[in-house]
Structure 1
Amino acid sequence: MEKKLLLCVFLTFLSLFTFSQNFKGGIIAGIATSQVSGDALGGLHKAGLYLGVFTQLPISSISNIKMEMNYIQKGSNNPKISENLLSDISTSYIEVPISVNYYQNEIMCFEVGLQTALLLKFSDNDLYGPIPNDQSIPFNKVDVGAFVGMNYHLTDNILLNSRISNSILPVRPHASGAIYKLNRGQYNSVLSFTLHYII
Protein backbone atom coordinates (compact mmCIF):
# COMPACT_ATOMS: atom_id res chain seq x y z
CA MET A 1 0.00 0.00 0.00
CA GLU A 2 2.79 2.44 0.94
CA LYS A 3 4.73 1.65 -2.26
CA LYS A 4 1.62 2.26 -4.39
CA LEU A 5 1.07 5.62 -2.69
CA LEU A 6 4.68 6.66 -3.30
CA LEU A 7 4.37 5.64 -6.95
CA CYS A 8 1.19 7.73 -7.32
CA VAL A 9 2.91 10.77 -5.80
CA PHE A 10 5.93 10.33 -8.09
CA LEU A 11 3.73 10.06 -11.18
CA THR A 12 1.82 13.17 -10.09
CA PHE A 13 5.07 15.14 -9.90
CA LEU A 14 6.19 13.80 -13.27
CA SER A 15 2.93 14.76 -14.97
CA LEU A 16 2.95 18.25 -13.46
CA PHE A 17 6.47 18.95 -14.68
CA THR A 18 5.83 17.46 -18.13
CA PHE A 19 2.40 18.68 -19.16
CA SER A 20 1.83 22.07 -17.55
CA GLN A 21 3.32 25.42 -18.44
CA ASN A 22 1.92 27.10 -15.32
CA PHE A 23 3.72 24.92 -12.80
CA LYS A 24 7.18 25.71 -11.51
CA GLY A 25 9.36 23.19 -9.74
CA GLY A 26 12.71 22.65 -8.14
CA ILE A 27 14.84 20.88 -5.58
CA ILE A 28 15.14 21.17 -1.80
CA ALA A 29 18.13 20.60 0.49
CA GLY A 30 18.72 21.40 4.14
CA ILE A 31 18.55 20.16 7.71
CA ALA A 32 15.77 19.22 10.10
CA THR A 33 16.10 19.62 13.86
CA SER A 34 13.58 17.55 15.77
CA GLN A 35 12.31 16.01 18.96
CA VAL A 36 9.71 13.40 19.87
CA SER A 37 7.30 14.97 22.34
CA GLY A 38 6.49 12.57 25.15
CA ASP A 39 9.75 10.60 25.17
CA ALA A 40 11.10 12.33 28.34
CA LEU A 41 13.78 14.14 26.31
CA GLY A 42 13.23 17.84 25.69
CA GLY A 43 14.64 20.10 22.99
CA LEU A 44 15.14 20.01 19.23
CA HIS A 45 18.51 18.27 19.56
CA LYS A 46 18.25 15.73 16.71
CA ALA A 47 19.74 16.93 13.41
CA GLY A 48 18.90 15.14 10.17
CA LEU A 49 18.89 15.39 6.39
CA TYR A 50 16.08 17.11 4.50
CA LEU A 51 16.13 16.47 0.73
CA GLY A 52 13.37 16.70 -1.82
CA VAL A 53 11.62 18.18 -4.84
CA PHE A 54 8.67 20.53 -5.19
CA THR A 55 6.19 21.94 -7.65
CA GLN A 56 4.01 25.02 -7.27
CA LEU A 57 1.03 26.53 -9.07
CA PRO A 58 0.13 30.24 -8.90
CA ILE A 59 -3.46 30.87 -7.82
CA SER A 60 -3.20 34.68 -7.82
CA SER A 61 -0.57 37.37 -8.26
CA ILE A 62 0.43 37.05 -4.57
CA SER A 63 -0.23 33.39 -3.71
CA ASN A 64 0.41 29.83 -4.85
CA ILE A 65 -0.18 26.21 -3.91
CA LYS A 66 2.96 24.16 -3.32
CA MET A 67 3.45 20.40 -3.18
CA GLU A 68 6.66 18.71 -2.06
CA MET A 69 8.05 15.20 -1.82
CA ASN A 70 10.86 14.97 0.73
CA TYR A 71 13.14 12.52 2.45
CA ILE A 72 13.50 13.62 6.07
CA GLN A 73 15.27 12.26 9.14
CA LYS A 74 13.55 12.87 12.48
CA GLY A 75 13.77 11.64 16.06
CA SER A 76 15.32 12.72 19.33
CA ASN A 77 18.86 12.94 20.64
CA ASN A 78 20.05 12.37 24.20
CA PRO A 79 23.50 13.97 24.70
CA LYS A 80 23.50 12.75 28.32
CA ILE A 81 22.63 9.14 27.56
CA SER A 82 25.56 7.82 29.62
CA GLU A 83 24.22 9.67 32.67
CA ASN A 84 20.44 9.22 32.53
CA LEU A 85 20.35 6.01 30.39
CA LEU A 86 17.28 7.25 28.49
CA SER A 87 17.15 5.92 24.94
CA ASP A 88 16.84 8.30 22.00
CA ILE A 89 15.10 7.81 18.65
CA SER A 90 16.06 7.75 14.97
CA THR A 91 13.39 7.76 12.23
CA SER A 92 13.29 8.44 8.51
CA TYR A 93 10.26 9.29 6.38
CA ILE A 94 9.10 10.10 2.87
CA GLU A 95 6.99 13.20 3.50
CA VAL A 96 4.50 14.99 1.23
CA PRO A 97 3.66 18.54 2.41
CA ILE A 98 0.98 20.60 0.63
CA SER A 99 0.84 24.31 1.45
CA VAL A 100 -0.76 27.61 0.55
CA ASN A 101 1.81 30.40 0.21
CA TYR A 102 1.08 34.11 0.52
CA TYR A 103 3.59 36.79 -0.55
CA GLN A 104 3.95 39.65 1.91
CA ASN A 105 6.20 41.41 -0.60
CA GLU A 106 8.57 40.46 -3.43
CA ILE A 107 11.07 38.68 -1.19
CA MET A 108 9.06 37.36 1.77
CA CYS A 109 6.38 34.68 1.70
CA PHE A 110 4.42 32.91 4.46
CA GLU A 111 3.15 29.33 4.24
CA VAL A 112 0.65 27.11 6.03
CA GLY A 113 -0.17 23.52 5.22
CA LEU A 114 -0.70 19.86 5.99
CA GLN A 115 1.65 16.93 5.44
CA THR A 116 1.55 13.15 5.31
CA ALA A 117 4.67 11.07 5.91
CA LEU A 118 5.34 7.37 5.35
CA LEU A 119 7.73 5.72 7.80
CA LEU A 120 10.78 4.15 6.17
CA LYS A 121 12.80 3.12 9.22
CA PHE A 122 12.92 3.59 12.99
CA SER A 123 15.11 2.61 15.92
CA ASP A 124 15.38 3.33 19.61
CA ASN A 125 19.02 3.76 20.60
CA ASP A 126 20.63 3.08 23.96
CA LEU A 127 24.19 3.54 25.17
CA TYR A 128 25.37 0.62 23.02
CA GLY A 129 23.55 1.47 19.79
CA PRO A 130 20.23 0.58 18.11
CA ILE A 131 17.81 -1.55 20.12
CA PRO A 132 16.23 -4.42 18.13
CA ASN A 133 12.80 -3.36 16.86
CA ASP A 134 11.11 -6.36 18.47
CA GLN A 135 12.16 -4.90 21.82
CA SER A 136 10.79 -1.41 21.02
CA ILE A 137 7.31 0.07 20.74
CA PRO A 138 6.64 0.25 16.97
CA PHE A 139 5.93 3.54 15.22
CA ASN A 140 2.80 4.08 13.16
CA LYS A 141 3.50 3.74 9.44
CA VAL A 142 1.84 7.09 8.67
CA ASP A 143 2.49 10.46 10.35
CA VAL A 144 -0.05 13.23 9.68
CA GLY A 145 0.98 16.76 10.62
CA ALA A 146 0.52 20.49 10.13
CA PHE A 147 3.08 23.23 9.59
CA VAL A 148 3.69 26.95 9.23
CA GLY A 149 6.74 28.60 7.77
CA MET A 150 8.38 31.50 6.02
CA ASN A 151 10.26 31.79 2.72
CA TYR A 152 12.86 34.46 2.03
CA HIS A 153 14.04 34.96 -1.55
CA LEU A 154 17.83 35.23 -1.69
CA THR A 155 17.71 35.49 -5.50
CA ASP A 156 15.02 35.01 -8.14
CA ASN A 157 15.70 31.26 -8.14
CA ILE A 158 16.88 30.54 -4.59
CA LEU A 159 14.87 30.93 -1.42
CA LEU A 160 15.53 30.12 2.23
CA ASN A 161 12.70 28.30 4.00
CA SER A 162 12.24 27.98 7.75
CA ARG A 163 9.37 25.77 8.89
CA ILE A 164 7.97 24.39 12.12
CA SER A 165 5.78 21.30 11.99
CA ASN A 166 4.08 19.00 14.45
CA SER A 167 2.20 15.72 14.27
CA ILE A 168 -1.57 15.98 14.59
CA LEU A 169 -1.92 12.30 15.47
CA PRO A 170 0.47 10.33 17.70
CA VAL A 171 3.35 8.58 15.93
CA ARG A 172 3.31 5.84 18.58
CA PRO A 173 1.87 5.20 22.07
CA HIS A 174 3.55 6.19 25.32
CA ALA A 175 5.78 3.47 26.75
CA SER A 176 3.39 3.21 29.71
CA GLY A 177 0.37 2.91 27.43
CA ALA A 178 -1.24 5.88 29.18
CA ILE A 179 -3.67 8.06 27.19
CA TYR A 180 -4.58 11.61 28.21
CA LYS A 181 -7.19 13.96 26.76
CA LEU A 182 -4.71 16.16 24.85
CA ASN A 183 -1.71 13.86 25.02
CA ARG A 184 -2.49 10.52 23.45
CA GLY A 185 1.07 9.41 22.75
CA GLN A 186 4.34 10.60 21.22
CA TYR A 187 4.44 13.27 18.50
CA ASN A 188 7.08 14.46 16.04
CA SER A 189 8.10 18.12 16.36
CA VAL A 190 10.41 19.55 13.68
CA LEU A 191 12.10 22.87 12.95
CA SER A 192 13.69 22.80 9.49
CA PHE A 193 15.92 25.11 7.48
CA THR A 194 16.15 24.44 3.75
CA LEU A 195 17.19 26.03 0.48
CA HIS A 196 14.74 25.76 -2.42
CA TYR A 197 16.13 26.11 -5.94
CA ILE A 198 13.56 26.92 -8.63
CA ILE A 199 14.47 25.27 -11.93
Structure 2
Amino acid sequence: MNYLNKIKTSILILGFLLNIGTFTSYAQTIKGGVLGGLSASQIDGDTQKGYDKLGFFSGVFVEKMFTKVVGAKVELYYIGKGAKNNAGGVEIFKTHLNYVEMPFLLTLNPIEHVEVDFGFAYSYLISAKMFEYGDEVPNSAIDMHNSDFSGIVSGSYYFSTNVAFNIRFDYSLIPVKNNPNWYNSNLSFGFIYKFN
Protein backbone atom coordinates (compact mmCIF):
# COMPACT_ATOMS: atom_id res chain seq x y z
CA MET A 1 0.00 0.00 0.00
CA ASN A 2 1.57 3.32 -1.03
CA TYR A 3 1.49 6.52 1.05
CA LEU A 4 -1.40 8.05 -0.90
CA ASN A 5 -3.57 5.01 -0.21
CA LYS A 6 -2.62 5.20 3.47
CA ILE A 7 -3.76 8.82 3.56
CA LYS A 8 -7.06 7.95 1.84
CA THR A 9 -7.62 5.11 4.31
CA SER A 10 -6.89 7.43 7.23
CA ILE A 11 -9.40 10.00 5.94
CA LEU A 12 -12.07 7.30 5.58
CA ILE A 13 -11.43 6.06 9.11
CA LEU A 14 -11.66 9.59 10.51
CA GLY A 15 -14.87 10.20 8.58
CA PHE A 16 -16.32 6.96 9.91
CA LEU A 17 -15.42 7.89 13.49
CA LEU A 18 -16.93 11.35 13.06
CA ASN A 19 -20.16 9.76 11.80
CA ILE A 20 -20.26 7.44 14.79
CA GLY A 21 -19.79 10.41 17.08
CA THR A 22 -22.56 12.30 15.34
CA PHE A 23 -25.24 9.69 14.76
CA THR A 24 -25.05 7.25 17.67
CA SER A 25 -25.07 7.26 21.44
CA TYR A 26 -21.30 6.93 21.26
CA ALA A 27 -21.26 10.69 20.74
CA GLN A 28 -21.16 11.06 24.52
CA THR A 29 -17.61 9.67 24.60
CA ILE A 30 -16.20 10.30 21.11
CA LYS A 31 -16.13 13.88 19.85
CA GLY A 32 -14.82 15.49 16.71
CA GLY A 33 -13.91 18.96 15.60
CA VAL A 34 -11.91 21.21 13.32
CA LEU A 35 -8.66 23.07 13.83
CA GLY A 36 -6.63 25.61 11.93
CA GLY A 37 -4.21 28.48 12.20
CA LEU A 38 -0.77 29.80 11.29
CA SER A 39 2.59 28.05 11.40
CA ALA A 40 6.12 29.44 11.65
CA SER A 41 8.83 27.05 10.51
CA GLN A 42 12.54 26.57 10.14
CA ILE A 43 14.73 23.67 9.04
CA ASP A 44 17.59 22.70 11.32
CA GLY A 45 20.62 21.74 9.25
CA ASP A 46 20.06 24.04 6.26
CA THR A 47 22.34 26.82 7.68
CA GLN A 48 19.37 29.21 7.91
CA LYS A 49 18.08 30.43 11.29
CA GLY A 50 14.77 31.71 12.61
CA TYR A 51 11.12 30.75 12.31
CA ASP A 52 10.72 32.97 9.24
CA LYS A 53 8.75 30.68 6.90
CA LEU A 54 5.05 31.35 7.48
CA GLY A 55 2.34 28.91 6.49
CA PHE A 56 -0.98 27.61 7.72
CA PHE A 57 -2.58 24.40 8.92
CA SER A 58 -6.18 23.22 8.66
CA GLY A 59 -7.92 19.93 9.38
CA VAL A 60 -10.08 17.73 11.59
CA PHE A 61 -9.74 15.60 14.72
CA VAL A 62 -11.53 12.99 16.80
CA GLU A 63 -10.97 12.41 20.51
CA LYS A 64 -12.10 10.07 23.24
CA MET A 65 -11.82 10.88 26.94
CA PHE A 66 -11.26 7.81 29.12
CA THR A 67 -11.67 9.83 32.33
CA LYS A 68 -12.26 13.52 33.07
CA VAL A 69 -8.50 14.03 32.93
CA VAL A 70 -7.05 11.52 30.40
CA GLY A 71 -7.96 10.88 26.78
CA ALA A 72 -6.60 10.24 23.28
CA LYS A 73 -6.84 12.22 20.07
CA VAL A 74 -6.17 11.62 16.37
CA GLU A 75 -5.83 14.59 14.03
CA LEU A 76 -5.53 14.91 10.26
CA TYR A 77 -4.57 18.20 8.61
CA TYR A 78 -2.66 19.97 5.87
CA ILE A 79 0.34 22.01 7.05
CA GLY A 80 2.88 24.18 5.27
CA LYS A 81 6.45 24.00 6.55
CA GLY A 82 9.89 24.99 5.31
CA ALA A 83 12.48 27.73 5.75
CA LYS A 84 13.17 31.24 4.53
CA ASN A 85 16.05 33.71 4.67
CA ASN A 86 15.80 37.36 3.66
CA ALA A 87 18.83 39.64 3.91
CA GLY A 88 18.56 43.33 3.12
CA GLY A 89 15.16 42.83 1.53
CA VAL A 90 16.51 40.15 -0.83
CA GLU A 91 15.10 36.63 -0.61
CA ILE A 92 18.24 34.51 -0.52
CA PHE A 93 16.73 31.14 0.27
CA LYS A 94 13.25 29.65 0.62
CA THR A 95 11.94 26.10 0.98
CA HIS A 96 8.23 25.23 0.64
CA LEU A 97 7.23 21.86 2.13
CA ASN A 98 3.55 20.86 1.99
CA TYR A 99 2.48 17.95 4.19
CA VAL A 100 -0.57 15.94 5.17
CA GLU A 101 0.04 15.26 8.85
CA MET A 102 -1.59 12.77 11.21
CA PRO A 103 -0.76 13.15 14.93
CA PHE A 104 -1.61 10.51 17.55
CA LEU A 105 -1.85 12.30 20.89
CA LEU A 106 -2.36 11.63 24.57
CA THR A 107 -4.69 14.28 26.01
CA LEU A 108 -4.56 15.59 29.58
CA ASN A 109 -6.96 18.08 31.22
CA PRO A 110 -5.00 19.06 34.36
CA ILE A 111 -7.20 22.04 35.27
CA GLU A 112 -10.45 23.56 34.05
CA HIS A 113 -10.25 25.14 30.56
CA VAL A 114 -6.72 23.78 29.94
CA GLU A 115 -5.80 20.85 27.68
CA VAL A 116 -2.30 19.49 27.09
CA ASP A 117 -1.51 17.03 24.29
CA PHE A 118 1.68 15.21 23.44
CA GLY A 119 2.59 12.39 21.12
CA PHE A 120 3.86 11.60 17.63
CA ALA A 121 2.89 12.49 14.09
CA TYR A 122 3.34 10.83 10.72
CA SER A 123 3.58 13.30 7.82
CA TYR A 124 3.43 12.64 4.08
CA LEU A 125 5.13 15.15 1.78
CA ILE A 126 2.69 16.35 -0.90
CA SER A 127 5.09 18.74 -2.63
CA ALA A 128 8.45 20.43 -2.14
CA LYS A 129 10.04 23.46 -3.78
CA MET A 130 13.29 25.23 -3.04
CA PHE A 131 14.28 28.69 -4.26
CA GLU A 132 17.66 30.43 -4.27
CA TYR A 133 17.70 34.16 -5.04
CA GLY A 134 14.19 33.85 -6.47
CA ASP A 135 14.97 31.01 -8.87
CA GLU A 136 13.43 27.59 -8.32
CA VAL A 137 15.86 24.71 -7.82
CA PRO A 138 14.70 21.59 -9.73
CA ASN A 139 12.92 19.02 -7.55
CA SER A 140 15.65 16.49 -8.20
CA ALA A 141 18.11 18.76 -6.36
CA ILE A 142 16.02 18.85 -3.20
CA ASP A 143 16.05 15.09 -2.53
CA MET A 144 13.45 15.33 0.25
CA HIS A 145 12.12 12.19 1.93
CA ASN A 146 8.43 11.47 1.33
CA SER A 147 7.75 10.86 5.03
CA ASP A 148 8.44 12.65 8.28
CA PHE A 149 8.00 11.34 11.82
CA SER A 150 7.88 13.99 14.53
CA GLY A 151 7.24 14.56 18.19
CA ILE A 152 4.51 17.03 19.16
CA VAL A 153 3.57 18.93 22.30
CA SER A 154 0.45 21.10 22.32
CA GLY A 155 -1.45 23.30 24.76
CA SER A 156 -4.99 24.68 24.47
CA TYR A 157 -7.04 27.13 26.49
CA TYR A 158 -10.83 26.72 26.13
CA PHE A 159 -12.79 29.97 26.20
CA SER A 160 -15.98 27.90 26.14
CA THR A 161 -16.96 24.24 25.87
CA ASN A 162 -16.35 24.34 22.11
CA VAL A 163 -13.72 27.00 21.31
CA ALA A 164 -10.04 27.01 22.26
CA PHE A 165 -6.82 28.82 21.41
CA ASN A 166 -4.03 26.35 20.63
CA ILE A 167 -0.25 26.56 20.49
CA ARG A 168 1.89 23.61 19.43
CA PHE A 169 5.49 22.69 18.68
CA ASP A 170 6.66 19.77 16.59
CA TYR A 171 10.14 18.59 15.65
CA SER A 172 11.32 15.88 13.25
CA LEU A 173 12.68 12.77 14.94
CA ILE A 174 14.25 11.54 11.70
CA PRO A 175 15.87 13.61 8.91
CA VAL A 176 13.57 14.88 6.16
CA LYS A 177 16.62 15.17 3.89
CA ASN A 178 20.12 13.70 4.06
CA ASN A 179 23.57 15.08 3.19
CA PRO A 180 23.26 17.32 5.11
CA ASN A 181 20.56 16.14 7.51
CA TRP A 182 17.54 18.44 7.66
CA TYR A 183 14.97 18.41 10.48
CA ASN A 184 11.64 20.25 10.44
CA SER A 185 11.02 22.54 13.39
CA ASN A 186 7.57 24.11 13.55
CA LEU A 187 5.68 26.43 15.91
CA SER A 188 1.93 26.81 15.29
CA PHE A 189 -0.83 29.03 16.67
CA GLY A 190 -4.50 28.49 15.95
CA PHE A 191 -8.01 27.73 17.09
CA ILE A 192 -9.93 24.56 17.80
CA TYR A 193 -13.68 24.12 17.46
CA LYS A 194 -15.07 21.00 19.12
CA PHE A 195 -18.48 19.69 18.01
CA ASN A 196 -21.04 18.89 20.73
**Whole-angstrom CA distance in 2 between matches of 1:81 and 1:89:** 19
| Counterpart position of 2:173 | 168
**Whole-angstrom CA distance in 1 between matches of 2:57 and 2:35:** 8
Residue ranges of structure 1 left out of the alignment (5+ in a row): 176-184
Aligned length: 188
Are residue 90 (structure 1) and residue 86 (structure 2) matched?
A: no
Q: How much has 1:87 moved relative to structure 2?
A: 2.5
Q: How much has 1:161 moved relative to structure 2?
A: 1.0
* RMSD, aligned α-carbons: 1.5
Contact kept in structure 2, 1:147 and 1:166, CA below 8 Å:
yes
Match 1:151 to one of 152, 156, 163: 156
Q: Deviations over 1:6-49 (max 9, x none)?
A: 11101111111122422101111101110010000011111101
Contact kept in structure 2, 1:81 and 1:127, CA below 8 Å:
no
Match 2:71 to one of 57, 64, 77: 64
Q: How much has 1:82 moved relative to structure 2?
A: 6.8
| Counterpart position of 2:132 | 126
Q: How much has 1:130 moved relative to structure 2?
A: 2.1
| Counterpart position of 1:23 | 30
Q: Which amino acid aligns with 1:46?
A: K
TM-score scaled by length of structure 2: 0.91
Runs of 4+ in 1 over 4 A off after TM superposition: none
**Whole-angstrom CA distance in 2 between matches of 1:160 and 1:147:** 17
Larger fraction in strand: 2
Q: Deviations over 1:159-187 (max 9, x none)?
A: 11111110000000134xxxxxxxxx110
TM-score scaled by length of structure 1: 0.90
Say which SS state the counterpart of residue 78 (structure 1) adopts.
strand
| Counterpart position of 2:190 | 194
Q: How much has 1:121 moved relative to structure 2?
A: 0.4
Contact kept in structure 2, 1:81 and 1:87, CA below 8 Å:
no
Say which SS state the counterpart of residue 41 (structure 1) adopts.
coil
